[in-house]
Chains A and B, each alone.
Chain A
Amino acid sequence: MDTPDYFQFFGLERKLALDTADLEDRFHKLSRQLHPDRYARATPAERERALEASAVLNDAYRTLRDPVARAEYVLKQQGTTPSKAAPPQELLDEVFELNMALEELRGGDDSVRPQLEAARDRFLALRREADAALENLFRAHDESGPDSVFADLRALLDRRKYIDNLIQQVESELSR
């Protein structure tokens, strides 16, 4: 079976700024419709189809409920994958500097703990900013069409990925 379009599967328009509460309702409704109990007396072929649809439903829900996974999904369908795009120079410079700052703190004694915590808070703030920027791009995408935002979206998702990575590193350092 070809994997259907996730938006179509939920009967949704191709909007990035989607209402997650509405998505959840649709998910529960479809889950009930596809529940194995309802297929107790169905033919094996029908049961098989319902099972496949359930698997798609779960993948589709996991993808669309998370803003980052949702945006990656839309970009992937458009043919832009993360590995193909070269990140902008300013981003690399910024990430390099943040990594340098983190490295200086790493492996130090307990006295650097407050600085590590400050670094973590800074990275978390950067991620919140990225998430807010993401919402703006979602709205722009839905209002002005996909072509206007794909490049910005790719760059922002890359930036967020780097920030995420830094947060993981600083948190693993703090939990040692």
Chain B
Amino acid sequence: MAYSDKVLDHYSNPRNVGTLDRTDPRVGTGMVGAPECGDVMRLQIKVNEETGIIEDARFKTFGCGSAIASSSLATEWVKGKTLDEALAIRNIDIVNELSLPPVKIHCSVLAEDAIKAAIEDYKKKRQQQKG
């Protein structure tokens, strides 16, 4: 199957690959996966507690090119956004941006789920801190 240029670009030069400290209270970690294709995706955000803006994002994905490109794009998009703005990102936006074919739409769903899981993890941590 042919990948679009944008997928190939993210696949060969993935943005923001790496790890943030999971124990840092400002860091939210989202881990999601799709068993049928063996994909696992970890997306992390670091939130500025004063402004509520996502200052940094990292990902690490084991999976196909589309899964890697989707999560790479997701980290680019969430940076500089508030949590609510990041929650508004829809998988269809990723599909359109990367011209993903129908069989790869689930990769974009995974990326959206990863953003949501990371934000949820961050919020849960904040809640626990407040006691």
Contacts and interface: CB of A to CB of B under 8 A. Distances in A.
A85 to B, nearest CB: 8
B106 to A, nearest CB: 7
A96 B38 contact: no
A92 B32 CA distance: 7
Interface residues of B, number: 13
Interface residues of A, number: 22
A162 B38 contact: yes
A161 interface: yes
A25 interface: no
Contacts of B36: 82-83, 161
A166 B39 CA distance: 11
A161 B38 contact: yes
B33 A92 contact: yes
Contacts of B38: 161-162, 164-166
A131 interface: no
A103 B60 CA distance: 12
B62 A87 contact: no
A92 B31 contact: yes
Given A83-B34, A87-B33, A89-B31, A95 B106 contact: no
A38 B40 CA distance: 52
Closest 3 CB pairs of A and B: A165-B38, A158-B35, A99-B62
Interface of B: 31-36, 38, 40, 42, 60, 62, 106, 113
